[in-house]
Structure 1
Amino acid sequence: MHIIAYDIKEDKIRNKVSKLLKDYGERVQYSLFESETDKANIEKLEKIFKKIISLDKDSIKIYFLCKDCADKVKSIGVQKTENNFDVFVF
Structure 2
Amino acid sequence: MRLAIAYDVSEDRNRRQVYRTLQSYGAWKQYSVFELEVTKTQRVELEDALEAAIEPADGDRIRIYRLCESCIDDTTDLGAQSPDEQSNVI
The TM-score by the shorter chain falls in which range?
A: 0.7 to 0.9
Greater fraction strand: 2
Q: Provide structure 1 residue ranges, at least 5 long, that are not aligned to the other structure.
A: 84-90
Q: Paired residue for 2:73, among 64, 71, 74? A: 71
Amino acid at match of 1:32: V
What is the root-mean-square deviation of aligned Cα atoms in Å?
Answer: 1.2
Helix, strand or coil for the counterpart of 1:21? Answer: helix
Aligned residues: 83
- Alpha-carbon distance between aligned partners in 1 of 2:78 and 2:8, rounded to the nearest angstrom: 24
1:44-74 Cα distance to aligned partner (Å, 9 max, x none):
1111122221022200000001011111111
Counterpart for residue 51 of structure 2: 50
Q: Provide structure 2 residue ranges, at least 5 long, that are not aligned to the other structure.
A: 86-90
| TM-score, normalisation: structure 1 | 0.84
Matches for 1:1-90 after TM superposition, within 5 Å: 1-56=2-57, 57-83=59-85
